[in-house]
Amino acid sequence: MSVRRVGALLGKELAHGPRNFMFVFAILVPLVLTVVLSLLFGNLLSGKPKLGVVDQGASRLVALAEEVDSILVRTYDSTDALRGAVRAGAVDMGVVLPGTFDDVVMRGDLAQLTAYVWGESLLKDRIVLGSAIASLVRKVAGQDAPVEIVTATVGDGESVPWDRRIVPFVVLMAIILGGSMIPATSLVDEKVKRTLTALTITPASAGEVFLAKGLVGFIISVFVGIFTLVLNQSFGTKPGLLVLIMVMSAMLAAAFGVLLGVVMKDINTLFATIKGTGILIYAPAILYLFPGIPDWVGRIFPTFYMVDPVVEVTQRGGGWAEVTPELAILAVLIAAMMGLVMVVSRRRQMVPA
Amino acid sequence: MNGRIIGSLVFKDLVLYFKNRFFAFITILGLVFYILIYTLMPSSVDETLDLAFYAPTLPPVLQDELVTEGVDIARLDSEEALKQAVIDGDYPVGIVLPEDLMPTLAAGGRGQIRVYFNADFPEDLEDSYTILMEEVGYALSGRELNLDVTEEVLGIDRAGEQVPERDRMRPLFAVFLLMVETLGLASLISSEIVGGTIQALLVTPMTVTGLFAAKGIMGVGLAFAQGVIVMAATGGLATNAGIILLALFLGSLLVAGVAFLIASVANDLMSVMGYGIIIMLALTVPALGVLIPGAMSDWVRVVPSFYLVDTVHQVANLGASWGDVAGNMAILLAFSAVIAALGVFALKRRFQ
């Protein structure tokens, strides 16, 4: 094993990488996904009912509605626009406030309100919006509630908002795309183009080629993984520990990528494998979306030991002590995967297709 | 174009495909996972508010009003039992109406209602319950709101019979399955290009059109068969199966055309993936509109897969008939025919 040759191969991979689709894909997808998901879970999938308002005057109700945490408010210029939004499901309910609405309410006269309800809106959303509108009208009228509501939180659970639940998925995708897909596609591509044969008749050994390919995936994986954590505002707590987790996760992903590249004879088979096994790889992150599912289910999957330490550190406030058992298992998995790569590549004698 | 030659080529490709046990296994595994995801997801939509009450005397006006509005009320025997039920997760929210509430309100005083939230209840949704309880307070004190609301439901009122999320995912499954086969078909053609077998085939009586017709039949057939299996297993063919089958077939034709177009510009397998993934993402966008209603504006109608997705959603989830989706089908047919023709034309230009 020559460090110089591995370095030369690595340099070549990094220099030519940006021209490779998978290279760009592995870097861009987690970043784009982070932005898209933050938009989606920030508003669209928040679980809050959406109220559309057309204010034909200057009602205080709109400003008061925007202060209510449990509903989302969107304003529209015309009744037609509001009706279109309700019909499309952009809002669950829409109300048109006449120009004199506040005056009528404050005088205590009977106020008229037109409410459009989206046919597919949930009953509970209609209830929440209905009571919110009633409450807002009472506030505009200056009424004081006849009851004081005293709230208390019981139990020791934790509410995990969707934008946080999705972080493990995005981080795992960053690690797998960079760590596994880059070496795998690169190796298969070289096999198909027969440049791998050309490489192995140079002084470079098969092991050096694999190591160089794996290192590219490893570097991209660590870089994109950390960048994804930063983008998701999850890197601030214990950066040293998180870097270690990223490094170990990227090692396992890169070893898996090299294994795929060694075993798969063409790109069709490679993508068929990814298609079929993708759900197994991402299962722990998908399970994390549903906190009610028991923890042991996720532990069946090897990628759990990449995801769980990230969740432990970034969301549960854990430290070295809490993640050490999972990292120990991850280390065993890395060793096993590397051993498997060596055995398989020796058996196949790295014969290109 | 010779039908016998095309048939032979399709047969050879299919035999080769299924001779590869690994490839066949992975394809079946993919189908199993789609069906598994569907099966594991909730089959109904819980659209009622579950409230647990402890109230020594639960005023009838409260029970009548909330139950008719779609709130499930459970009564517990004590405040401690209520708190424990909330802690155990039996109810997300527990409400205590103290014994002195009604007398206090009747005397014109200000009463108190205690609300317990489970710790995993989203904090920013808590005020929906406090607002609801304030309104309960107004109702109990007899202070009616001087408001006349005219309500109009837009679209079919599905209160009580909502479409479950897993059924909303069926159009997404259809598009994914078809698009993944697009990548497969484009890769197949591309591998023929890279391997040089296309030129070899073209010196036989096989024509360029015949060659790609054979590849198209294979790709469309595989995509269509997988789409039908997933739809059948997820109940998507339960009503108006003929419409769904035709829509899937037109969708398969569309993606075969897309595959031809990709193969006509791609130079190697990786560029197939490059073009393919971008197009796949674009064609998936309309399916997200079904999953997240209101997230898309009308521009999404320029994406051809919209007419496949919308048809599957309308028919499988909302019970639409031929008449309801005739427009969709006509546009999907036009898109499919044009794109398939463009694909064949582009490939012919490249190889002749």
pLDDT digits (tens, 9 = 90+) for B245-297: 999 999 999 988 998 898 888 876 667 777 887 888 888 888 888 877 777 77
pLDDT of A44 above 70: no
B126 touches chain A (CB under 8 A): yes
Strands B49-54, B71-75: pairing kind: parallel
A79 touches chain B (CB under 8 A): no
Closest Cβ–Cβ partner in A105, A112, A147 for B134: A147
pTM, full prediction: 0.73
* Centroid of chain to Cα B211: 35
Closest Cβ–Cβ partner in A137, A150, A153 for B114: A150
What's the confidence (pLDDT) of residue B124? 81
Do B26 and A109 make contact, defined as CB atoms within 8 angstroms? no
SS3 content of chain A, % helix, strand, coil (to 5): 70, 10, 25
pLDDT of A154 above 80: yes
3-state secondary structure of A96: strand
Mean pLDDT of A118-125: 90
Higher pLDDT: A320 or A272? It is: A320
What's the confidence (pLDDT) of residue A158? 66
pLDDT of A257 above 90: yes
pLDDT of A78 above 90: yes
Give dist(CA A180, CA A177) in Å, integer. Answer: 6
Do A146 and B105 make contact, defined as CB atoms within 8 angstroms? yes
What's the confidence (pLDDT) of residue A41? 63
- The per-residue b/e assignment along A324-343, b for 16 or more CB within 10 angstroms, e otherwise, is eebbeebeebbeebbebbbe
Do A160 and B112 make contact, defined as CB atoms within 8 angstroms? no
Mean pLDDT of A218-241: 86
Mean pLDDT of A289-305: 82
What's the confidence (pLDDT) of residue A353? 41
The answer for A 156-185 residues in CB contact with B (under 8 A) is 156-161, 185
Which segment, A30-39, A42-51, A217-226, B135-144, is predicted with the most confidence on average?
A217-226
User: Is residue A169 a contact partner of residue A282, using CB atoms and an 8 Å limit?
Assistant: yes
Q: Which residues of chain B have pLDDT under 50?
A: none
pLDDT of A352 above 60: no
